[in-house]
Amino acid sequence: MLDVIRANTFVAEVLGLDPREVDVPVVGGHAGVTILLLLSQLDERLTSRIQNGGTEVVEAKAGAGSATLSMAYAAVKFADACCAFVSSQVTELPFFASRVRLGHNGVEEIYPIGPLNEYERVGLEKAKKELAASIEKGISFLGK
């Protein structure tokens, strides 16, 4: 959710909109190339800024902290969405962040990734490769 908030903020800044009026679809993971924005025609510089937003904050604070307020806001948005692990077929990976529709009974629909442009297809493959390695490492750690 933190990456969605960053994406919404940066896109709103570029477009001169209120970030609360922007809803950028972000899937994948939460680090570098695993963060995949699904905006066809997106300026690649903006994608890089969103992917490295956390690093920018740490550097701006000279290593003395992180995006505390943003993380708190993301936690509130996350709690509002009541998201939890949901098994899906969005990708072949056992874990992959994606958009869902929540209802009275929890997750009522898992949205597919949808059509991607070439830039997004390449980004998705990079994200899946990185996530697969991270997932394997996590599962291996749990087995110890």
For 110, phi and psi rounded to 5 degrees?
-105, 120
* Ramachandran region, residue 43 (left: φ > 0; alpha: ψ -120 to 50; beta: rest): beta
Kindly tell me the burial class for residue 46, based on how many C-beta atoms sit within 10 Å of its own C-beta (0-12, 13-18, 19 or more). Answer: middle
Q: How many CB atoms lie within 10 A of CB 128?
A: 20
Q: Which residues are catalytic?
A: 30
The residue to which tokens 């996590």 are assigned:
138
CA distances to 19, 20, 28, 138 from 75, rounded to whole Å, are: 17, 16, 18, 23
Length of the chain in residues, anyone? 144
